[in-house]
Structure 1
Amino acid sequence: MGELEGTYRILQSPGSRLGAQKNTGVSTLEPEQKSSAMTTSKQKNKGLQLKVLMLDDTEELFDVESKSYGEALLIQVLKHSNLIESDYFGLEFLSNQSNWIWLEPTKLLMKQIQSILDTELMMSFKKEQEEHIQTSILHTMYKETLLIRCRIIVFRYLFALQIKRDLTECRLTCSENTATLIVSHLLQSEIGDFDETLDQEQLKMHKYLPNQEAVQEKILQFHKKHFGQTPAESDFQVLEIARKLDMYGIRFHPAFDREGTKINLAVANMGVLVFQGTTKINTFSWAKIRKLSFKRKRFLIKLYPEPQGTYQDTLEFLMSSRDQCKILWKSCVEYHTFFRTYDQPKPKAKPVLFSRGSSFRYSGRTQKQLSEYIRSTDVRKSSYQRYEL
């Protein structure tokens, strides 16, 4: 079979799960991949100005040193947005192979982005699963004070912006009726109570849906029903609708199973999901998964043995390219570490001469650490002034 390019072993010993007394960490074994980034001597000797598309669709320029790591840019973007919930957000960009890739904080910018001066990065939620946007979760993250309530409103606002983007880019799978209802709440949030002239002008200037003209009348009818609703209340309604959708926060990774059947793989907080079309046919929870790995175009899931023997010990999926395999594998590493462990895994020492497999590991805080940090932090008022409390 040859050497695996990426291996991630899911530890089940005490401390690897939330609530355990001690954390043994998470093991990752990989060789440093050959960088495809192209640099010039001119770029090495000066700073870089990078363009980032924010969640509100504004473009911002950020200055970083040419030898900066991804973390330097990410910190500037999060500071600009006045966010402390940093581990829910990330920057993604389109590679030369037309793959959407998340910027790695612990890796040099020049080694990640090939045409670094011509590439626009996009700020996005990295972990936008259903339970993150429920009111109960947000309220457990924060103590109830007026200042913290302001942060909750800002957090919801950013989620609503992400949902708006997902609708526009056809990333949110839902019925036409649901899509028009979401847009009507977005209109209420952006321009206030229904006014036919203002509504038509707003819909003319802004594209919310690919088939917007065909459903415009339905959007206006829904908007009439939201009279008196504040922007914060409208954002809350958008989140309430989105969290009930089966496909919210799901990003498909097309693949084939061993029988050659076309399927879609996805990563969620509970484990790895398998879809046929948009119908979920299987869920492999983290508790059942022993190890995740990839070799060239093959993505491998090694399961713990079951008494009934329903599944094979190792599941194999064929993807379109090695890059697609690695993108999915990295996503699994991040999700498992963030949701299922208490502490960050300790970095492994770099080998002096040779190494095998990817050196990638999750570098942010876990969900448990983030919640504890927010509870203990003196949160400053957000720069967003859109809402009145």
Structure 2
Amino acid sequence: MLDKALNTVIMPFGIKLRRTGRYILSHKNSFLIRVQLLDNTAMECTLTVENTGIDCLNAVAQRLELRELRYFGLKYLNKQMKARWVELDKPLKKQVDKNSHEPILFFGVMFYVANIDRLQHEITRYLFYLQLKNNVIDGALPCSKIEAVELASYMLQAEFGNHDPDIHSIDYFRDYILFPEFLTPNDPTLDSLTQQAIEQHERHSTGSGLLAQHNTGEVGMWYPPTPLVLTPYIP
């Protein structure tokens, strides 16, 4: 499964979006809200008080040139700091004002797929890759050290290209987060796991960054969904 190639090309996903702290009223019937994306950049959406969650999600999809929207949703943190999905058919501002801890939304994968080959577009596969990466690093997807090393090696391939022995060392990746905190309680453990990931990265460096994203997605698709509410699979 891990060596199945994709006959596609790599796209430069360099999303650079303006940041802002919270939404503000621009005039009586409209407001500005920040949406955090999966690459940790943010975008702003200008909406009216009548706009629903799907209107905001459509704005995000337009910015990302995302067509396979049915897999994605918007979350907020409620006043108990629990993640909740926005109800897409209801006015967004009422939900945010009434329920959220702060007026920030988080774009992410809402429905997972049993087979990543079902995703038809490169940007969709890339977003699934980012979601999986974030879930692993945040500890939302529990994994063993062996699994974490394998995933980290594909992250290196996806984001840094083929292994370069003159550059890619433990020190080079020291400030790059590859593993969940619970697996790296101290520096020697972190260095050991990083070295193992580098060695695996070197072994499959003939693949493309996109293939690595594809393989990372395939490695992770069998995991149970994240412990956030309303996160089922689409078989």
Contact preservation (8 Å) 1:192, 1:230: yes
Code of the residue aligned with 2:136 in structure 1: it is: L
Secondary structure, aligned partner of 1:84? coil
Residue 201 of structure 1, CA deviation: 5.5
Out of 185, 190, 201, the position equivalent to 2:159 is: 190
SS in 2 for 1:55: coil
Query: Are the equivalent residues in 2 in contact too, given 1:194–1:223 (CA < 8 A)?
Result: yes
Tell me if the contact between 1:48 and 1:117 (Cα under 8 Å) persists in the aligned partners: no
Once the two structures are superposed, the pairs formed by residues 3-82 of structure 1 within 5 Å of their partners are: 45-82=28-65
Q: Give the share of equivalent positions with the same residue, in percent.
A: 22
| Deviation of the 1:199 alpha carbon | 4.8
Secondary structure at the aligned position of 1:105 is classed as coil
Structure 2 residue aligned with 1:251 = 227
Residue 208 of structure 1: aligned partner: 178
Aligned length: 201
Distance in 2 separating the partners of 1:85 and 1:54: 16
- The structure carrying a bigger strand percent of its residues is 1
Tell me the alpha carbon deviations over residues 98-145 of structure 1, each in whole angstroms, 9 at most, x when there is no partner.
Answer: 22111112211222113779422111110114x142x2x34xxx5xxx
Q: Please say if 1:99 is aligned against 2:77.
A: no
Q: How far, CA to CA, are the matches of 2:95 and 2:49 in structure 1?
A: 12
**Using a 3 Å threshold, how does the CA distance of structure 1 residues 198 and 97 change in structure 2: closer, same or farther?**
same
> Equivalents in 2 of 1:92, 1:175: separation in Å?
28
1:212-238 deviations in whole A, cap 9, x for unaligned?
552222111211112221011111111
Instruction: Go from structure 1 to structure 2 and tell me whether the alpha carbon gap of 1:221 and 1:235 turns closer, same or farther (over 3 Å shift).
Output: same
The answer to whether the 8 Å contact 2:38/2:108 transfers is: yes
**Against the structure 1 CA distance between its residues 202 and 73, is the aligned structure 2 distance closer, same or farther, given a 3 Å change threshold?**
farther
What is the DSSP-based 3-state SS (H/G/I as helix, E as strand, rest coil) of the residue aligned with 1:114?
helix
TM-score (norm 1): 0.47
**C-alpha contact (below 8 Å) 2:136/2:143 kept by paired residues:** no
- 2:3 alignment partner in structure 1: none
Task: Report the CA distance between 1:204 and its aligned residue.
Answer: 2.6
Q: Distance in 2 between matches of 1:202 and 1:117?
A: 38
The offset of 1:77, in angstroms, is 0.5
- The answer to whether the 8 Å contact 1:88/1:127 transfers is yes
With over 3 angstroms needed to count, the CA separation of the structure-2 counterparts of 1:127 and 1:189, relative to structure 1, is same
The 1-side partners of 2:231 and 2:36 are apart by 25
Separation (CA, whole Å) in 2 of partners of 1:111 and 1:178: 42
What's the TM-score once normalised by structure 2's chain length? Answer: 0.75
Contact 1:183 1:219 in 2 (8 A): yes
Whole-angstrom CA distance in 2 between matches of 1:180 and 1:108? 43
Is 2:29–2:49's contact at 8 Å kept on the other side of the alignment? yes
Tell me, what secondary structure is at the counterpart of 1:90? strand
Question: Tell me, what secondary structure is at the counterpart of 2:46?
Answer: strand
Show the counterpart of 1:158: 127
Conserved? CA contact 1:49–1:117, under 8 Å: no
Q: Are positions 1:231 and 2:200 aligned together?
A: no
Q: 2:57·2:74 contact (CA, 8 Å) conserved in 1?
A: yes
Distance in 1 (CA, whole Å) between partners of 2:215 and 2:92 is 38
1:387 equivalent in structure 2: none
Following superposition, the deviation at residue 267 of structure 1 comes to 6.6
Q: Name 1:304's counterpart in structure 2.
A: none
Query: 1:276 is matched with which residue?
Result: none
- Using the TM superposition, name which of 112-121 and 75-84 deviates more: 112-121
- Pairs within 5 Å for 1:340-359: none
Q: Which residue of 213, 220, 226 maps to 1:242?
A: 220
In structure 1, distance between residues paired with 2:47 and 2:172: 37
Residue deviations 1:247-274, cap 9 Å, x none? 3x24267xxxxxxxxxxxx8745xxxxx
User: Does the 8 Å contact 2:152/2:197 carry over to 1?
Assistant: yes
Amino acid at match of 2:127: L
Decide which of 100, 104, 112 is 1:120's aligned counterpart: 104
2:220 alignment partner, SS class = helix
Instruction: Check conservation: 2:49, 2:93, Cα contact below 8 A.
Output: yes
d(CA) in 2 for partners of 1:161 and 1:201? 24
Query: Which residue identity lines up with residue 124 of structure 1 in the other structure?
Result: G
Over 3 Å counting, the alpha-carbon distance change for 1:201 and 1:92 in structure 2 is: farther
Q: CA deviation at 1:243?
A: 2.4
Equivalences for residues 142-153 of structure 1 within 5 A: 151=121, 153=122
Letter in 1 for 2:137: T
